[in-house]
Amino acid sequence: MFIQSPSRFVGVLLSLWIPTSSALADEPEARSRERRAAQSALAALDDGARKLQVVWPEGRSAPTLVAGLAVTSPGDQPLARAQSFLSRWSALTALRPDELRLSAVETAGDRTTVRYRQVVDGLPVQGRSLAITVEGTKIISLVSDAVPLTVVDRATIDAETARVLAVQAVFGAGPEAPSLEIATQATKLIAANGDRGVEAFQVFVARRPLLEHLEVLVDAHQGRVIGIADRVVR
């Protein structure tokens, strides 16, 4: 990753992030196009007067952070300004408009942060989000951990089966296992690792009713539990 001031930004960007011919041959053409488009957008935003800070981890199609911006964006409210910025500079995210869903608008003082959740085919991608910070009429930063997904393995089980698997993972499958009613909720989403995803169910299991819930993640493609996290109710 790198963080650079504007005086060296473009030169370092080009030397580090334009792949060699052999590298381009080894990566999908779509990834190469996304990367080149993001590089072009950053170069256009760097007018030499702003102190841009950019973080771009290796292997990503677009940066995770662009700060130090002062981009005037049209709109009568922060949300409209954020939407205008995303439309104009969508290359910075490497995502299509339908892959972002508004999740929150948070204002503190003269700054507003507009938050989006990454979605694929309408399903939220677990842990993947993007935030635009607006100050007055200007966009001042973009932060993103969203990554375009090249492959999504589709579900082969339904929510009821996922609930069964979740309860069995917590209590076992013996005759003393509780009824499915303790699996209070099963929400379909996409679990992602890098640019690959799998449809999954997030199931909440009440290990101790009203006191402790477990969040069980069920891989809906392979039909197996892939994660359990404590969610203590205080």
How far does CA 227 lie from the centroid of its chain? 19
Burial 18-34 (b: 16+ CB within 10 A, else e): eeeeeeeeeeeeebbeb
> What confidence score (pLDDT) does residue 173 get?
72
Alpha carbon distance 58, 154 (integer Å):
28
Site of tokens 């579900």: 155
Does position 145 have pLDDT exceeding 80, yes or no?
yes
Amino acid at 32: S
> What confidence score (pLDDT) does residue 234 get?
52
Q: How confident is the model at residue 114 (pLDDT cuts 50, 70, 90)?
A: very high
Q: How confident is the model at residue 154 (pLDDT cuts 50, 70, 90)?
A: very high
Does position 193 have pLDDT exceeding 60, yes or no?
yes
User: Does 179 or 76 have the greater pLDDT score?
Assistant: 76
Q: Are strands 196-208 and 151-153 parallel, antiparallel or unpaired?
A: parallel
> What confidence score (pLDDT) does residue 226 get?
95
The average confidence (pLDDT) of the chain is 83
pLDDT tens digits, 121-142: 999 999 999 999 999 999 999 9
Domains and CATH numbers, the chain: 6-146 (no CATH), 152-232 (3.10.450)
Does position 216 have pLDDT exceeding 80, yes or no?
yes
Contact criterion met (CB below 8 Å) for 199 and 190:
yes
Contact criterion met (CB below 8 Å) for 188 and 198:
no
